[in-house]
Structure 1
Amino acid sequence: MPEQRKKGEGRPSGAKSAKGRGRSRASRKRKWFYGLFFAGALGVVCAIVGYLLVILNGERILAANRDVLLRGDASAIYDSSNGKIASLASVNSQDAQFSELPELLRNAFIATEDKRFEEHSGIDVIGIGRAIVKDIIARSAVEGASTITQQLARNLFLNQDKTFFRKATEASIAVALENQLSKDEILTMYLNRIYFGNGVYGVKLAAKYYFNSSLEDLKLWQMATLAAIPKAPSYYNPKDDAERSAGRRAVVLTLMNNQGYITEAEMEQAKAVVYKPLDNYSTGSSRNKFMTYVDYAVKEAVQVTGRTEDEIRLGGFKIYTALNATAQQTVEDAFDDDSNFEKSPDDQKQQAAMVIMDHSDGSIKAMIGGRDYVRKGWNRVTVPRQPGSAFKPITVYGPALDTGDYTPDSILRDDKKCYGDYCPTDSNRVKYIGPITMAQSLKESRNASAVWLLNEIGVSKGVAFSEKLGMPLDKSKDRNLSIALGGLTTGVSPLQMATAYSAFANDGRSVDAHTIVRIESSDGATVYEYAGPKPKQLMKEQTAAYMTQIMQGVVQSGGTGAGAAIDRPLAGKTGTTQHGIPGLKSSYNRDAWFVGYTPEWTAAVWMGYDKTDKDHLLKKSSSAAAALFSKVMRKAMKDVPRGSFDKAPAPTPQTPPPGEQPDQVLDLQGSYDENAMLVALRWSPVEGESISYRIYRKAEGEADYARILDAASPGVADLSVAPGMSYEYYVTAYDDASGQEGVPSAKIFVEIPGVELSPSPTPSEPPIAEPSPSEEPGTEPSEPAVPTPTPTPGSTPTPMPTPTEQAATDGGTPPTEGPASGDEAAQGAGFVSP
């Protein structure tokens, strides 16, 4: 028998450890299994709870904001008296029923925005997975992965920030929408809410605006064009950029073809169509007054709040501005009057721009970006042009006075003299008069003495002074004596000029130009309130006082700006630039300016053509700009307390609190009834319990409007009309309880047929004589033109922004060519006497 093992003598140690390890491995496996099981179960429970929370959160938000499904509140803009001047969205949308939406149009948007729209329940899981991967790679939230339902949720309830928290809330609302609405209802609401650029909301109005077409008459290429816009409305709409729109349209058509909605032949045919802009279909935005100012204020609101334009327009905000309704209406009327401008030989009108600001605080009181300015158009107030002699106070006289070595009585030299290859030439009737005071040099806008003075103080001082006033010059190409006469590489805008001159008017302190005073949310909370930067002392107070003193001489008899004089103290400067067209001998000009200020306000006027050539030049020099300044400012400032340059103006009266002034009258229409021999007027009613209406009329040949009738309801008949006459009307709402009168409605024109009489000869219009080079007949001496700088051999000037480049900033549709640029004067070319 084998020997018995004693107690304690076990199996070999190796065998025992192997069995123990086996039991240990089995135990660990069981622990892992149970751990994974419970973790999975916990994950499932958490997912279910999370999903329920998402659903409940979306349902809660939807229930609390049910009214938002009906229509988002349009934001509104108010003037300085708290009068409503514009509704930013409500008049620019038209809702379509599902039955009005062609199937191919619906498919175009589904193919482009959400190809699994009919399959998901508000959230596209596949799309979210793709987005998460891209977000992880980019280490930020860059991919949207939004379904149509999510986009609708965002437009209705949320902002556009790409954050994971916002996306979760957006998803919860989307699921709730899918639970409560059908797919057809969601798609219809989406197509009625999305933004199509140019202030247009909803596909129905977009079809009218871009194609003047009903939805049922849209062609495939037009449907694809519309479906292309929401990706980037200001970038892909065909009116603002037809080329980019066509490129994006091709992408939409390719997606439709890939998803089986159209054939390849249909795709290629639709891609080949070239968009031709039609006459603007009226979106209702014309009912909004003062479009340049409104557009600028919206852009400023986007900047100061960090919100998108879509959010600003649809967020129900109240945007209170510094706009002075009297001043703005005066500017609008002046720009509507063709007699204030030269007649063009073709359909390219002579253009102009004007801005008025209060130099005590920088608030912009009025602004117009051009004649026939359309919404989101090309705002010439912000477009750089060559300033000519209007720049002399900024680069010559201002910096010279600021050195302390000169006064208005200092003697300068007005001699024929060359500085190297640069030979400035006086364009005055009497040239080169030798010794001349600084005040007289500026009053007569003499070139030779201005260049002499800049040479004395040094170009660097002129450059530095210009930069302090907000107009930095080109560091390499503008370091020369031609800047004395406004010969710049890039040019400056009317807004920059008004801001710079405001520093002279404001005792040498900086001025921060702005339109917005405050912004309130729909519940009355203050979202933004203007708090400008602390003013900087840009020059000595004595310098500013001296500049005001000598620029008052410019608008007095014998000064180049005498035509700008108004019935209160005024200081200012004219400016003109020669045409700069090679080979053309003509005294006509490219740009004409007048920039001036009273003790209360500063204004800048620019005149010229968007596209300058031999057929599009100014004949009247700076006298026309000065005359327009005078015509506008006399009326614009009629209610502004009068001040003086040595005494502060009286305080501005307190404005009425918000809400007391009635809304603007909309939809004013009028027609002549031949049988009754009267003009029938009608308009939309204004909300309010004690509202009546005041009717104003101006007959042909009359200078001002007169109040002719009052009405208790929105309609009236004007019986006092005469055959062969024409009349303009506007209507205001009047609150009998508060005694407040609303802003004027849009004006309408009614012509009364004449009675048949024997024809009488009509005198022919006398021909317009070309003005003499030195001075226009019947006017004060005009501003001598300075040359438009052009490149010289070997130079590489930085060109002025083209209209296309400027439009990228302003959002408008530019002409085909902008102001010329260059630096001939900067490089030593001689001056040519106009």
Structure 2
Amino acid sequence: MSTSHTQAKRPAGKRRWLTFFYICGIGLLLAVGSAASTLGYLYFSDLPVSDMQQASELLDREGKPISLLSSDRSMERHVSIEEISPSLVQATIATEDRKFYQHWGLDIEGIGRAMLVNLESLSTRQGASTLTQQLARNLYLTHERTWKRKVKEALFAMQLEMKYSKDEILAMYLNQIYYGHGAYGIESAAQMYFGKPAKELTLAESSMLAGIPKGPTYYSPWMNMKNAKDRQQIVLQNMVTTGYISEQQAQEAYQVTLPFKPKESRSESTLIAPYFRDYVRKELLALGITEDELETGGLRVYTTLDSRAQQAAEAAIGKNIPADGDLQAALISIDPRSGDIKAMVGGKNYRDNQYNRVLATTRQPGSSFKPFVYLAALEDKVITAATQYKSEPTSFDYDEGRKTYKPSNYGDKYYGDINLRQAIAASDNIYAVNTIMQVGAERVIEMAKRLGIETQMKPLPSLALGTFPVRPLDMARAYAVLSNEGKEVAPRAVLAVTDNRGRKLYEAPKAPDAQVVEASTSYVMTNLMESVFEAGGTGNRVSSILKRPVAGKTGTTDADSWIVGYTPELSTAVWVGYDKGKKITTMDSHLSAPIFAEYTEKALESVPPKLFAMPDDVVSVYIDPSTGLLAGEGCPAKKMETFVLGTEPTEYCGAHPSDQPDQDKSKDTPIDQGKKSWWQHFKRWWTG
């Protein structure tokens, strides 16, 4: 009985064990399948959009950082792992995650220890986050201490490890961690604390910075040096323990007196080309980029700014405009060949006043507007370089004779019969009004708008003297057309925009090449305007500074001092004056020219001097200045002058005994001689 009972129980017990193992096997398969499914899902699914706010960054034309577009995060610079000092990388790993290169995002041993401590205390006070988990938390989660958040953090950490290399994860971590005082990322911290890039950090500097993120305020060397040094010592000992450095290296690094920058300089990086930065923000908004994207989207905005030219502009204004007082200045410089804005200074001190005077529409250009009058007249063949008007007090009737305009010259100085070159050099007002009366004010307005002047103007004789306000930006653009052989110039500040993953959001279109003015007419105007910087010209006082061919025009009103000028590479407008309508003094009126000259030479110091290109349908011939006719060999004061082919004088001056040329002495006509005369322009410039 007992024997049979025992035999009956054995199969039942065996079945129970088989069932148990069967269930365990199924459970194991389900667990493996579930884990595989989870890993597969993590691998093939996208990471969520980061909750971390990244400031958008402004870059100059060479790709170097200028400043941030964000208004509340003072510094943030992203660099690759190759651009970070190895000692900083080692210090961070030794302090934050010693097994970083061994684990898959989770430190299982550390998690086990933390769980025991937390279960014992019935809390979540101890964590075991890897560097990858910290990155996942900063990118996608809040910092609340809950089990739910920890599970999500672990899953995101594994997903990061699947999709990025260890170096990429480490670079992302080091680029977003906070180092205090507005510095996000190691590059910003290195610049803020030590004034150097992250790749140049020494062991002593690296160990100091690696300790700050644990408590950016508590361990700030600016706030509490003792705490910072204590923390540095811990970091150095961690590096010794992990084998990165020796004990002797740690002691030597700890003893180094670190060359910290003054705390007061921490915001200087936000003031690089600040007026240009604000201008770019407006341009980006006009392109459809939102405020949120600018503030927190981590955009990289590649701009046209030339950092060397910008520094030259700021230095020229800083040197010539007194820091105290209300006198202001603005400078805008454009590459005529592309429309790229190379430099922009909207005022002498952005901290005190953010108003950008480059965009101001309340400035009368004075005589710097006259070239538009002459350009329209040259184009319509109303005048040529040889045309003469009498410089004397004159009344001009207009509006069908119902009104009279009586302009005068500065200081009541008049010159008698003068030609166009003399009128431009001396800035004669009578000649300019005579010209606008001949060509028509409406025609001048049409020309100005064609060149890029966007402000409103009225068809009055006084228009010739620049009585209607313009923007410095528009003046630089209009003069750039002359430098660009008469082709359209569209100012631009943004070349391209990429998102935080490097995807291109915007690329600037090609520069326009429409012919606004015939190249020959443009060249003649340019050649005439070169005389402004020659003997007798209103810009002659800065001719010793300029070492290259330059064309331009000065302009002075009761409240404004202007100079707008250009080379083949730059078109620049400089304005000096007061914001509140205060009249400028004679001394104030002389400040715009040296700013222009000093800036131009410094900005182009690495560029060889270049002549303006002379089109084939331009000729230069010798004329008699007193008559405007061709100069014969007996003319005692003949001058070479430039004309569009077909508009040059054809008759010889008869005022001198030997005026008729001796045809036996030369087979070349004056026109033939003119076609060979570009060298004469060079010699005139060279002997200056």
TM-score class, shorter: 0.5 to 0.7
Aligned: 1:438 with 2:420: yes
Letter in 1 for 2:418: I
598 and 413 in structure 1: CA distance in 2 versus 1, 3 angstrom threshold: same
Structure 1 unaligned runs (5+)? Answer: 1-58, 96-155, 158-172, 183-200, 206-280, 579-589, 649-834
Q: Partner residue of 2:230?
A: none
Offset at residue 568 of structure 1 (A):
0.7
Q: Which residue of 2 aligns with 1:368?
A: 345
Name the CA distance, whole Å, in 1 between partners of 2:424 and 2:341. Answer: 28
Question: How far 1:342 moved relative to its partner?
Answer: 5.3
Asked if 1:519 corresponds to 2:501, the answer is no
Q: Secondary structure at the match of 1:523?
A: coil
Q: Does 1:606 align with 2:575?
A: yes
Closer/same/farther in 2, CA of residues 410 and 282 from structure 1, 3 Å limit: same
Residue 75 of structure 1 is matched in structure 2 by 56
For 1:75 and 1:94, the matched residues in 2 are separated by 10
Alignment of 1:655-670 (within 5 A): none
Q: Which residue of 2 aligns with 1:465?
A: 447
- Corresponding residue of 1:591: 560
Give the drift of 1:94. Answer: 10
Deviation at 1:383, TM superposition (A): 0.5
Residue 429 of structure 2 corresponds to 447
1:299-318 equivalences under 5 Å are: 299-304=282-287, 306-318=288-300
Paired amino acid for 1:299: K
What is the one-letter code of the residue matched to 1:300?
A: E
In structure 2, what is the equivalent of residue 814 of structure 1? none
RMSD of aligned residue pairs (Cα, Å): 3.9
- Alignment match, 2:507: 529
Using the TM superposition, give the Cα deviation of residue 549 of structure 1 relative to its aligned residue in structure 2, in angstroms. Answer: 0.6
Q: Distance in 1 between matches of 2:325 and 2:55?
A: 35
Contact 1:413-1:452 within 8 A present in 2 as well? no
- Tell me, yes or no, if structure 1 residue 573 matches structure 2 residue 553: yes
Residues 439-473 of structure 1 deviation map (CA, whole Å, 9 limit, x = unaligned): 11111000111101111111111111112122245
Distance (whole Å) between structure 2 residues aligned to residue 296 and residue 625 of structure 1: 23
Counterpart of 1:389 in structure 2 is 367
The structure-2 alpha-carbon separation of the partners of 1:630 and 1:549, relative to structure 1 and needing over 3 Å to count, comes to: same
3-state SS, counterpart of residue 329 of structure 1: helix
Distance 2:504 2:608 in 1: 30
Q: C-alpha offsets along residues 538-584 of structure 1, whole Å, 9 cap, x if unaligned?
A: 22212101110110000111100113431111000000012xxxxxx
User: 2 CA distance for matches of 1:295 and 1:450?
Assistant: 38
Please state whether the residue corresponding to 1:360 is helix, strand or coil.
coil
| Equivalent position of 1:399 in the other structure | 376
Q: Distance in 2 between matches of 1:621 and 1:482?
A: 24
Give the CA deviation at 1:643: 2.2
| Conserved? CA contact 1:575–1:622, under 8 Å | no
Report the Cα offset of residue 341 of structure 1: 2.3
The residue number in structure 1 matching 2:73 is: 92
- Measure how far apart 1:611 and its partner are: 1.3
Residue type at the aligned position of 2:484: N
Superposed displacement of residue 362, structure 1: 0.3
Counterpart residue type for residue 273 of structure 2:
F
Q: 1:416 pairs with 384, 390, 393, which one?
A: 393
Greater helix fraction, Structure 1 or Structure 2: 2
- Structure 1 residue 503: deviation in Å? 0.7
1:672-725 deviation line (CA, Å, top 9, x unaligned): xxxxxxxxxxxxxxxxxxxxxxxxxxxxxxxxxxxxxxxxxxxxxxxxxxxxxx
The SS at the match of 2:292 is helix
What is the distance in 1 between the residues matched to 2:595 and 2:329? 10
State the distance in 1 between where 2:388 and 2:593 align. 28
Note the alpha carbon deviations across 1:752-789, whole angstroms, 9 max, x for none: xxxxxxxxxxxxxxxxxxxxxxxxxxxxxxxxxxxxxx
Q: Which residue pairs with 2:517 in the alignment?
A: 539
**How far apart, CA to CA, are the structure 1 residues paired with 2:470 and 2:148?**
56
**Residues 376 and 323 from structure 1, CA distance in 2 versus in 1: closer, same or farther, beyond 3 angstroms?**
farther
- Counterpart of 1:290 in structure 2 is 273
What corresponds to 2:463 in structure 1?
483
Contact 1:357 1:364 in 2 (8 A): yes
Name the CA distance, whole Å, in 1 between partners of 2:327 and 2:610: 35
2:614 and 2:581 map into 1 onto residues whose CA distance is 44
Equivalent residue of 1:365, what SS?
strand
What residue in structure 2 maps to residue 781 of structure 1?
none
C-alpha separation in 1, matches of 2:322 and 2:267 = 31
TM-score by length of 1: 0.44
For 2:342 and 2:385, the matched residues in 1 are separated by 32
Does 1:634 pair with 2:625? no
CA distance change for structure 1 residues 417 and 375 in 2, over 3 Å: closer, same or farther?
A: closer
Q: CA deviation at 1:428?
A: 5.0
| CA deviation vs aligned residue, 1:576-595 (integer Å, no higher than 9, x gap) | 012xxxxxxxxxxx100000
Distance 1:595 1:414 in 2: 24
Q: Partner amino acid for 1:634?
A: E
Q: In the alignment, residue 328 of structure 2 is paired with which amino acid?
A: Q
2-side partners of 1:358 and 1:84: how far apart? Answer: 21
**1:24-63 residue pairs with structure 2 within 5 A?**
none
Instruction: Write out aligned runs for 1:76-155 (5 A).
Output: 76-89=57-70, 92=73
Q: Deviations over 1:92-137 (max 9, x none)?
A: 2699xxxxxxxxxxxxxxxxxxxxxxxxxxxxxxxxxxxxxxxxxx
- Quote the offset at 1:321 in angstroms: 1.3
Contact 2:564 2:573 in 1 (8 A): yes
TM-fit CA distance, 1:67: 8.1
TM-score by length of 2: 0.53
Instruction: Note the C-alpha offset of 1:618.
Output: 3.0
Q: Which amino acid aligns with 2:377?
A: A
User: Could you list the runs of 5+ residues in structure 2 that have no partner in the other structure?
Assistant: 1-40, 77-138, 151-177, 183-263, 398-403, 616-688
Give me the whole-angstrom Cα distance separating, in 1, the residues matched to 2:343 and 2:75.
Answer: 31
SS at match of 1:372: coil
Q: CA deviation at 1:334?
A: 2.4
SS of residue in 1 equivalent to 2:534: coil
What displacement does 1:66 show? 5.9
Q: Structure 2 counterpart of 1:609, which letter? A: Y
1:608-687 counterparts in 2 under 5 A? 608-613=577-582, 617-620=584-587, 622-646=589-613
Structure 2 residue identity aligned to 1:361: S
> In the TM superposition, what whole-angstrom CA distance separates every residue of 1:787-832 from its partner, at most 9, and x where no partner exists?
xxxxxxxxxxxxxxxxxxxxxxxxxxxxxxxxxxxxxxxxxxxxxx
Q: Secondary structure at the match of 1:392?
A: helix
With over 3 angstroms needed to count, the CA separation of the structure-2 counterparts of 1:90 and 1:470, relative to structure 1, is: closer
Tell me which of 473, 476, 482 is aligned to 1:495: 473
Q: Bigger radius of gyration, 1 or 2?
A: 2
Question: Which letter does structure 2 place at the counterpart of 1:415?
Answer: E
Matches of 1:609 and 1:405, distance apart in 2: 38
2:495–2:507 CA contact under 8 A, matched in 1: yes
1:550 aligns with 2:528: yes
Structure 2 counterpart SS, 1:68: coil
Check the 8 A contact 1:407/1:546 in 2, yes or no.
Answer: no
1:341 equivalent to 2:321? Answer yes
Query: 8 Å contact 1:295–1:375 — kept in the other structure?
Result: no
CA distance in 2, matches of 1:376, 1:529: 32
For 1:611 and 1:179, locate their aligned partners in 2 and report how far apart those are by CA, in whole Å.
Answer: 63
Q: Distance in 1 between matches of 2:325 and 2:308?
A: 29
Question: In the superposition, relative to structure 1, how do residues 297 and 461 fare at CA in structure 2: closer, same or farther (>3 Å)?
Answer: same
Secondary structure (helix, strand or coil) at the match of 2:305 reads coil
Do the aligned partners of 1:74 and 1:316 also contact (CA within 8 Å) in 2?
Answer: yes
Distance 1:341-1:619 versus aligned 2 partners, 3 A rule: farther
Q: Within the alignment, does 1:331 sit opposite 2:313 as a pair?
A: yes
Which secondary structure state, in structure 1, belongs to the residue aligned with residue 50 of structure 2? helix
SS of equivalent to 2:581: coil
Inter-partner Cα distance in structure 2 for 1:506 and 1:356: 14
Amino acid aligned to 2:336: H
Which of 339, 342, 354 is matched with 1:377 structurally?
A: 354
- CA positional deviation for 1:91: 7.4
SS in 1 for 2:556: strand
Residues 313-356 of structure 1: CA distance to partner in whole angstroms, max 9, x if unpaired? 3212221111111111111222333xx1258xxx6421000011
